[in-house]
Amino acid sequence: MNWNKIHTLFRPQSVAIIGASRNPEKVGHVILLNYLNAGYQGKVYLVNRNADEILGMKSYKRVADIKAKIDTAVIAIPAESVPEVLEECGKAGIKSVVVISGGFAEIGNTKLQDEIVKIAEKYEIAMIGPNCLGVMDPRSRVNTLFLPMYKLARPEIGGVSFMAQSGAVGSTILDMISGEGFGLAKFISYGNAASLDEVDILEYLMNDPETKVIVVYLEGIKRGKEFVKLARKLTKIKPVVILKAGRTSAGASAAHSHTAALAGSYEAHEAVFRQFGFTIANDLSELLYYAKIFASESAPEGNKVVIVTNGGGAGVLTTDAIAGSRYLALADFGKQTQESLKKTMPPLVNIRNPLDLAGDADDGRYHDALMPILTDDNIDMIIVIILFQTPGADSKLASEVISIKERIEKPMIVISTGTEYTEMHKRMMESSGVPVYDSPISAMQSLEVLYRYYLYKNHKGQ
């Protein structure tokens, strides 16, 4: 599939919304509002055979009535009408389409789905769907999602691209991403994958300069050999975090009825993922944790981890997590670091890893502890635990951690658990590029996958 045609899905100069509606309860109405409210700067053309104007905008009866160049079309009409409209799009020279409409192979109507595939192939149209949410690009303000903006938080602009067969999972992840402090490059919900499938989309994202990390929710793979061929080079270029549904026979059956996906053996899929350096998530939480670590952190030089904490128990739990990892190890302080810490730390602080700064630690003590650690060659990664419930932990401490993060090259993450006061400071740090985790286990697992990926990428094995 032509890369430029796929690219028009995300950067069209003009779009036709086929099925745009005056009825606020209709999908076509919500899609139109999303384009308008997002601030899309291209030309928007509306097509509805029963309306002359919608929201004060001219509406056309047919695509052929629009005497202007159209890059892409969003189709949100009953399934049985899609072939005729898609034929009109092809004759009009439209390069790409998003078919939101359901009612195809996911309900057993393979004949109708085959018909639209043949039309897309006839006119060489890049087609996403059917039975999908479509695409979103926060840079171009393209938004084909039929989910009202007041129900779904939109992430900031960033470098993580997310692709999902499931619209429901995709929308959930979009909502969750907005609270995790990393931004979105592109979102693709591709549904039944009748034309463009996971191989096409992954290849596009592999070559997309705005995408730094690829996150995938997958129910099935249509073209296994092509997927393997692509996988050989994909993860050498960019990290890929993947959550594969259909682990059980019941799950595989549910996936087929959901998006007509050929789920296949989970074990076979997992073997391919591991062989080619994919980072495998077991649930949505892990998917987000791993996306966050890749979005914010660079390659570690090694696997030695230091823990700095203002709570002894939290330090012990994190030590247990690191000690239980197959890939990470606790670091020993270098001699110069030990000497520096002995000079600056109060007598109640034992100079060892984990470094417990005690419950009265403030921004100054964290600063004095972290500065020598930053340049210690014995230390590859840093975990900073902050219990904001303690007297010395406040906004000044959060600001200090942000300041240190801005000048450090080593991976550094924060563990902080709590409610409103903690959440406020978590958002403060994450909005400034400091990844924050809720537990020692999630922090350990995230550093572990970061380390394992760069082992694979640098041909060091896993």
Q: What share of the chain is helix, strand, coil (3-state, %, to 5)?
A: 40, 20, 40
* CA torsion angle 434 315 301 177 (round to 10): -30
Tens-digit pLDDT profile for the chain (462 aa)?
577 889 999 999 999 999 999 999 899 999 999 999 889 999 999 999 999 999 999 999 999 999 999 999 999 999 999 999 999 999 999 999 999 999 999 999 999 999 999 999 999 999 999 999 999 999 999 999 987 766 666 788 999 999 998 888 888 888 888 777 789 999 999 999 999 999 999 999 999 999 999 999 998 898 999 999 999 999 999 999 999 986 655 444 444 444 444 445 778 889 899 999 999 999 999 999 999 999 999 999 999 999 999 999 999 999 999 999 999 999 999 999 999 999 999 999 999 999 999 999 999 999 999 999 999 999 999 999 999 999 999 999 999 999 999 989 899 999 999 999 999 999 999 989 999 999 999 999 999 999 999 999 987 545
Do domains 1-130 and 152-296 share one topology? The answer is yes
Least Cα distance to 309 among 425, 397, 179 occurs for 397
Task: Tell me the CATH number for domain 152-296.
Answer: 3.40.50.261
Q: Is the dihedral of CA 37, 38, 41, 46 positive or negative?
A: negative
Residue 202: CA count within 13 A, CB half-sphere: 29
Question: Is residue 397 within 8 Å of residue 362, measured between CB atoms?
Answer: yes
User: How far apart are the C-alpha atoms of 33 and 49, rounded to whole Å?
Assistant: 19
Q: What number of residues does the chain have?
A: 462
DSSP element (H, E) containing 381: strand 381-385
Domain residue ranges in the chain:
1-130, 152-296, 298-457
Instruction: Say which CATH topology domain 1-130 has.
Output: Rossmann fold (3.40.50)
**H-helix or E-strand spanning residue 420:** helix 420-430
Domain over 298-457 is classified CATH 3.40.800.20: no
Separation of CA 247 from chain center: 21
Q: Please report the pLDDT score of residue 254 as a whole number.
A: 47
Query: Contact, 71 vs 8, CB < 8 A?
Result: yes
Cα gap 41→34, rounded to integer Å? 12
Report the C-alpha gap between 216 and 240 in whole angstroms. Answer: 7
Structure tokens of 61? 């009866």
